[in-house]
Amino acid sequence: MSGLWRAPDGVRIFYEDQPGPAEALPVVCLPGLTRGARDFTALAAHLAGARRVIRPEMRGRGRSGRADPATYALPVEVGDILGLLASLGVA
């Protein structure tokens, strides 16, 4: 399934969440600069049924919302990922 999670500053973070067994640790795929969740489609297909695979797109990239350029900083992006994972019951 795909969805949008709203960061505390209002930016919408796009993600794809492929279900897997509850007892298996989830795999979180973080794309590099200018990349997106689609880069991990083959990996998610390979892990289908064996692991939950969460594929977010970072703020300002892909299908995620744009923000003030001053917010494109590592601490903010880490907060986005931790907040998203908490909302999905992972963190």
What confidence tens digit (pLDDT) does each residue in 30-67 have?
998 889 999 999 999 999 999 999 999 999 999 999 99
Give 63's contacts (C-beta < 8 A, 6+ positions apart).
Answer: 14, 36, 37, 57
The pLDDT, as a whole number, for residue 66 is 95
Q: What is the pTM of this model?
A: 0.92
For residues 81 and 56, give the distance between their C-alpha atoms in angstroms, rounded to a whole number.
8
68 by DSSP, 3-state: which? coil
Q: Is the pLDDT of residue 91 over 80?
A: no
Q: Which domains does the chain have, with CATH numbers?
A: 2-87 (3.40.50.1820)
The pLDDT, as a whole number, for residue 58 is 95
The pLDDT, as a whole number, for residue 57 is 97
Identify the CA nearest to 55 among candidates 88, 24, 22, 23: 88
For residues 7 and 44, give the distance between their C-alpha atoms in angstroms, rounded to a whole number.
25
